[in-house]
């Protein structure tokens, strides 16, 4: 089922330098196939400063890589520059992937060798919903605290009677979520068995396409479908029923409306 595990472990985001270099050479040959003859393609090793180019080849390369400078660089110089730029870009993407892995680690999602790694898009969407859920929980906590200290301890028993016989799903191992008083057992609305497909879907992105079903994410039979953040439910183990307590209700509009707020670019695009 999770045969993709091997893929995850066998596909490091930062391949060995030799592989990178070979890939670079291959790509270079491919990219410049219009300028490099097939015979030259058969001699990859010559590309690394050893291959001799025809005058046409060199001119073509120079024009394509250094047209901004309006000067013709030697093949070695161009190759060096190109490799340097490529290396930087690889490092940048590698750092990005490291950050993405770090995000995955703190997500309420089962980790382990038998669990398929979240895709990038799924990670981002899940993170977003997770933040929304936590924000909602925090707001609710504040409300409960003011309620307790204001008009007596409605939640004094740390759990509303409304929750009745509902049993909450247990916490996810390793998950850093802080449990709250009214719900000693941390809820994970984004996880089975009570995962709402809606919780991961974003406007314009269907949950079905954005998250593969075998992730074990967000496929709760009969779970209420709806727009992103429409509901965060606790689920009674064995009952399959959402917890009716106030913690489980629809997030306030000001929270859900975040989905409509475009994220501004850090760098100025206006010009």
Contacts with DNA, residue ranges (CB under 7 A): 1, 3-7, 10-11, 13-15, 19-20, 23-24, 27-28, 30-32, 64-65, 67-69, 82, 84-90, 92-94, 97, 117, 119-122, 209-212, 214, 265-269, 271
Closest approach of Cβ 94 to DNA, in Å?
A: 6
Q: Which is nearer to DNA, 79 or 137 (CB)?
A: 79
Cβ closer to DNA: 85 or 224?
85
Supply the minimum distance, in Å, between the C-beta of residue 118 and DNA. Answer: 7
Q: C-beta of 270: minimal distance to DNA in Å?
A: 8
7, 140, 170, 238 from 137: Cα distances, Å: 36, 5, 17, 24
In three-state secondary structure terms, 236 is strand
Q: Which of 27, 142 has the CB closer to DNA?
A: 27
Q: Measured from the CB of residue 255, what is the shortest distance to DNA in angstroms?
A: 25
Taking the C-alpha atoms of residue 128 and residue 12, their distance in angstroms, rounded to an integer, is 25
Which residues fall within 8 angstroms of residue 188, CB to CB, at 6 or more apart? 108, 169, 171, 172, 175, 177
In whole angstroms, the minimum distance from the beta carbon of 2 to DNA comes to 7
- Which stretches within 106-204 are classed as H helix? 120-151
Is the bond into 170 cis (omega within 30 degrees of 0)? no
C-alpha to C-alpha distance for 133 and 264, rounded to whole angstroms: 22
* Residue whose CB is less far from DNA, 62 or 169: 62
Choose between 26 and 142: whose C-beta lies nearer to DNA: 26
The answer to whether 155 touches 142, Cβ cutoff 8 Å, is no
């Amino acid at each position: 089922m999770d045969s993709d595990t091997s893929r995850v472990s066998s596909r490091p985001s930062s391949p060995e330098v030799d592989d990178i270099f070979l890939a670079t050479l291959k790509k270079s040959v491919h990219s410049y196939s219009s300028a490099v003859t097939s015979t030259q393609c058969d001699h990859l090793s010559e590309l690394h400063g050893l291959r001799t180019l025809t005058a046409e080849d060199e001119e073509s390369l120079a024009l394509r890589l250094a047209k901004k400078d309006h000067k013709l660089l030697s093949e070695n110089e161009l190759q060096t520059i190109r490799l340097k730029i490529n290396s930087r870009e690889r490092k940048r993407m590698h750092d990005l992937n490291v950050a993405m892995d770090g995000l995955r680690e703190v997500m309420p999602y089962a980790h382990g060798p038998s669990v398929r790694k979240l895709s990038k898009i799924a990670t981002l969407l899940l993170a977003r919903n997770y933040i929304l859920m936590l924000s909602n929980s925090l707001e609710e906590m504040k409300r409960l605290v003011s309620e307790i200290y204001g008009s007596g301890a409605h939640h004094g028993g740390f759990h509303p009677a409304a929750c009745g016989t509902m049993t909450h799903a247990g916490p996810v191992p390793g998950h850093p979520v802080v449990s709250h008083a009214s719900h000693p057992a941390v809820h994970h609305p984004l996880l089975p068995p009570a995962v709402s497909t809606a919780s991961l879907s974003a406007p314009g992105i269907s949950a079905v396409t954005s998250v593969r079903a075998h992730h074990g994410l967000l496929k709760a039979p009969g779970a209420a479908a709806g727009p992103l953040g429409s509901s965060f439910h606790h689920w009674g183990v064995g009952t399959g029923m959402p917890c009716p307590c106030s913690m489980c209700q629809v997030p306030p509009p000001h929270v859900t409306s975040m989905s409509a707020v475009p994220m501004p670019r850090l760098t100025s695009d206006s010009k």
